[in-house]
Structure 1
Amino acid sequence: MERRGLDRKQVLGLAALGAGAMVLGPGTGRAEADAGAAAPDAGETIDEGVTWRDVRQWGVEGKGWEDTALFYDRLPARAEASVRPVIWRLSRNSSGMQVRFRTDSAAVYARYVLTSPSLAMPHMPATGVSGLDLYAQDSRGRERWAGVARPTARAVEARLVSGVDPGMRRYTAYLPLYNGVESLEIGVEPGASFHPVAPRTRGTVLFYGSSIAQGACASRPGMAFPAILGRRFGRPTVNLGFSGNAFMEPEVADLLAELDPAVYVIDCLPNMGPELVAERGEPLIRRLRAARPHTPIVMAEDRTYSHAWLVGALRERHHGSRGAYREVYRNLRRSGVRGLSYLRGEDILGDDDEATTDGSHPSDLGMARYADAYAKVLRTVL
């Protein structure tokens, strides 16, 4: 049965039910905080001499469309009239967006305002829901973690890292996974050099999926599996994960078809039963293939619930939805559709049942395992 959106009680009960869905829109959620400037760390203050730069001056990476109602929205403004209201609300979360820049500053700061006072969830910390996550490029070209903002209010002012070794280096800051952003500035120390890095737009990996694709329950934005894969392959990503609402709808399919990525990744099974998969799976893939005849498409199954070994209804759910999706794949291949890859779900999270926060949503360990599983498929098509 199609799930048309979840209320607060349903969200809080997901860990027990293993429903694989999570919804957080502006003004909803459990944690509440008063608006106001948040201290960067206990006892610290931001120096008055910090030079601030508005990210809108050079842009964020990971936006599929430029004609958005708000700068950090994930869908174009016109989509509000065609998609379901819950998808529109979720599209205002900034998941998957990142900003890149170069500086020789000994410290890097961030100042941003969130759209919602709901900063965290019972099974996902504020650093993941609402934090800004900083990575720096090392001398070998690897992007490595450098610091994260720990929000305690809608208005955040944070020292992300300090005492940095001398030298110019490139940084990447990942935006919040389950909150929206009204404004964002990057700060550096007085006299430091600062060079914006333009967003990459070619070779994009596009993810369309559920709460897991959106980033639940990574502890930091950079630990969502699409972000991990973006770093691993050195490519931009567009995250169109819609928590609890990845139903392969025609309206969403039409929006996906507007974009021209290097590969489409379709990861909707955590939200879909076999009947809906059978009804919508083939039309979605055919719509994308008609619009982009040569773009690879990865069809991914859902991960296995950690307690499915114990709960027969969960095993039955996997059997039904995966069986329907595999039949869709076979039908497409038999009819001559090419450029399809298929990722089976049994082993995505490993076999030790230790990689989720609630039996459903991956922890950071689970996200790393997700990335490993996807990388095996993506290496063959990128």
Structure 2
Amino acid sequence: MKVTLLHFKNIFSIALLLFITPYSMTGQEELVKYVNGNELTVSGISKAGDPASFYRVDSTLLNGLPATVKKLAKNPAGAAILFKTDSRSIKVKWELEKYKIWWNMSPLTVNGMDLYGWNGSSWQYVASARPSGTENKATIIDHMDGQMRHYMMYLPLYSTLRSVSIGVEKDATIRKADPQFLPKRSIAIYGSSITQGASASRPGMAYPSIIGRAMQAEVYNFGFSGSGKMELGAADFVRESDADVYILDCVPNPSPEQIAFRTVPFVKRLRKSHPDTPVIMVESLFREHGHWDLKTGKRVTAQCRAFRDAYKQLVESGEKDIFYISNSKLIGDDHEATSDGTHLSDIGHHRIAQRLIKILRESIQLPD
């Protein structure tokens, strides 16, 4: 076969492209170093959990609890990785057990990451890592000035992590957070899907995380979608967290009968080893369609009444430092604070967070 000069040029060009392309990609990857997330500072995982796997509750504390709780306990809702770096770019690689798409939440909320940076006085949102499947890699932020700063990366609210690594420039420093950036107090919040974070637009906008940033506190998110029904076993892992304050936002899912039967034993079990730890009891927010669907409205009213009656029983039995928050204006009164009539939008999460922050500062007198 006769090989012309044109043929030779084409063959040479193809060979050169095949050689250069992978080399360039490899070369670019060699400019980045990755550090396993659990080798940095892990926040939001209590003594009841496992920081190495980012499980909120260790499996040994889940015996006798519903399968839903056991499954959701593996979701790192509210957990974050704190670190400092002088890198001009920050990347992240993470693998999920399963990539999930839910109708009333963004893929970012369920599967993605949020990065915040310390701006000198508060945690400021930087950017998010967009998920696309079970295996993900993203450049969160680029072209920074290379100053040493502290960062906090929130993990997915509703997906289980198999691994997560933070990437920085090869010659940059990345280390655990300095002691002054570690929270000096802790808050445990036990509840339902709303507590877990549904339906915030991104992980950092779940109300427990908003409270954590505002109060400079480590918040343990014990929200369980479709559950949070005050089983006694749940009281055991909540009290195992050894928090400074316990918030019970667990009215939405149990029946009025379950609330009447379980609330007092739950709180007393919770306080068995922490008799002086303040407890805040929060009524269920009123479902928007409950203003029109009489059956739903009646159920929510009965749930809150049973919870309020239990609070009165606790006070009458001598329990101290028990605080009660009604659902009146809990998320405002303009009917615009939910994404689907039940779960909170960002504005709903912001409003309930502000209400709780006020109680924490004024009644509990938990300092910033």
User: Do these two structures clear the TM 0.5 threshold for a shared fold by scoring above it?
Assistant: yes
**In the alignment, which residue of structure 1 is the partner of 2:118?**
137
Alignment partners' CA distance in 1, 2:92 and 2:111 = 13
What root-mean-square deviation, in Å, do the aligned CA atoms of Structure 1 and Structure 2 show?
Answer: 1.8
Aligned residues: 336
Residue 159 of structure 2, aligned match among 160, 165, 179? 179
Q: Are residues 1:60 and 2:42 paired? A: yes
Deviations 1:325-357 (A, max 9, x none): 111111111111001111111211211111111
Deviations 1:246-293 (A, max 9, x none): 110011112222221010011111112211110000001111122201
Q: CA deviation at 1:96?
A: 1.0
**In the alignment, which residue of structure 2 is the partner of 1:244?**
226
**In the alignment, which residue of structure 1 is the partner of 2:177?**
197
* Counterpart contact for 1:95–1:239, Cα < 8 Å: yes
Residues 85-94 or 159-168, more deviating: 159-168
Partner SS state of residue 145, structure 1: strand
- The residue correspondences of 1:332-351 to structure 2 (distance < 5 A) are 332-351=314-333
Deviations 1:159-212 (A, max 9, x none): 111122342111000000000111111111132222212794751100110000
Q: What letter matches 1:151 in structure 2?
A: P
Which segments of structure 1 move beyond 6 Å, counting only runs of 4 or more?
none
Residue 79 of structure 1, aligned match among 37, 42, 61? 61
- The residue correspondences of 1:1-382 to structure 2 (distance < 5 A) are 47-65=29-47, 68=50, 71-118=53-100, 120-139=101-120, 141-197=121-177, 200=182, 202-379=184-361, 380-381=363-364, 382=366
CA, structure 1 residues 300+67, in 2 after alignment: closer, same or farther (shift >3 Å)? closer
* Counterpart contact for 1:177–1:221, Cα < 8 Å: yes
* Counterpart contact for 2:80–2:154, Cα < 8 Å: yes
* Counterpart contact for 1:102–1:170, Cα < 8 Å: yes
CA, structure 1 residues 273+77, in 2 after alignment: closer, same or farther (shift >3 Å)? closer
Identity %: 34
Q: What letter matches 2:227 in structure 1?
A: N
Q: CA deviation at 1:378?
A: 1.3
Richer in helix (by share): 2
Alignment partners' CA distance in 2, 1:225 and 1:209 = 12
Alignment partners' CA distance in 2, 1:66 and 1:363 = 29
CA, structure 1 residues 66+49, in 2 after alignment: closer, same or farther (shift >3 Å)? farther
Alignment partners' CA distance in 2, 1:344 and 1:246 = 18
Alignment partners' CA distance in 1, 2:338 and 2:345 = 5
Partner SS state of residue 102, structure 1: strand
Partner SS state of residue 245, structure 1: coil
**In the alignment, which residue of structure 1 is the partner of 2:23?**
none
Alignment partners' CA distance in 2, 1:217 and 1:314 = 20
Q: What letter matches 1:154 in structure 2?
A: T
Choose between structure 1 and 2 for higher RCO, CA contacts under 8 A separated by at least 6 residues: 1
* Counterpart contact for 2:99–2:111, Cα < 8 Å: no
Where does the alignment leave 5 or more consecutive residues of structure 2 unmatched? 1-26
Where does the alignment leave 5 or more consecutive residues of structure 1 unmatched? 1-44
**In the alignment, which residue of structure 2 is the partner of 1:35?**
none
Alignment partners' CA distance in 2, 1:290 and 1:49 = 54
In our comparison, the structure showing a higher alpha carbon Rg is 2
TM value normalised by structure 1: 0.84
Alignment partners' CA distance in 1, 2:209 and 2:285 = 18
TM value normalised by structure 2: 0.87
* Counterpart contact for 1:58–1:198, Cα < 8 Å: no
Q: What letter matches 2:275 in structure 1?
A: P
